[in-house]
Structure 1
Amino acid sequence: MPLPQLTLYRHDKNSRALITLAGEIDLATAHLVRRTLAQCLHDGIRTIDIDLTTLTFCDLTGLNAFLDASHATSAAGGSLRLHYPPPVVARLLALTGTGTLLLGLPAVPLGRPTDLPRVSGADLMERKSPAVPAGVL
């Protein structure tokens, strides 16, 4: 089985960097993401945009690398945003509730309790959750 690969491209302009990731982020490659994002802060970059268009996979170690870098960037007075996440990454962000932090999207306001549909226990038993393919997370 071939090892997963990740290619990182970095383009700086003033105090802003565009990082493009191609390939897979997992336990074997997340350290590359961490190191690249830490180097941006070390170099004085305070706005980090990460293009995920060509990313094919990201697991929780990759998500943690993004979250840690986002926290460090915010503490330094900057911002980190993910752009164009592929479906597998968008699903990971949705499942973990981290999309508002990493994508810069506004939080979805919850409606008043009277605005929510009433669902009985029988309705819940009849509904089936979609199956989650193995290896998605």
Structure 2
Amino acid sequence: MCLRLVGELDMSTVGQLNDTIDRLAADGARQLLLDLAELTFCDSTGIAAFVRGDNRAAADGGWLRLTGATGRVDRVLQVTGLADVLAYQPDTADPASQDAP
């Protein structure tokens, strides 16, 4: 399952992402790709949502990957170390070809 995040991910929008991840997990989704190519901003609540989603997926025997971040969002992933912790693919060309963590 691929989710495309658009705009800003912050305290006012992170609840929607968490709710969507929870709903997809409850519906049986075990593999989740978050496409960040159109995400223009991500604060600490967004980072926490990525970690929460990754933990949720792992607990259910699945995985969560991030892909396509640019600009500030890519910088946040690099500076926080999240790019190293989560399965981060800068290129959205063929995310299915990457091995699960």
The runs of at least 4 aligned residues of structure 1 exceeding 4 Å deviation read none
1:34 aligns with 2:18: yes
- Greater fraction helix: 2
Aligned residues: 89
Distance 2:9 2:81 in 1: 19
Q: Percent identity?
A: 36
- Is contact 2:67-2:88 (8 Å) kept? no
RMSD of equivalent CA atoms: 1.2
1:98-137 alignment runs, 5 A limit: 98-104=82-88
CA spacing shift, 1:56–1:104, aligned 2, 3 Å = closer
| Counterpart for residue 81 of structure 1 | 65
| Counterpart for residue 75 of structure 2 | 91
Query: TM (normalized to structure 2)?
Result: 0.82
Distance 1:76 1:66 in 2: 15
- Is contact 2:66-2:87 (8 Å) kept? yes
**Structure 1: which amino acid aligns with 2:70?**
P
Q: 2:30 aligns with which of 46, 49, 55?
A: 46
Distance 1:103 1:58 in 2: 17
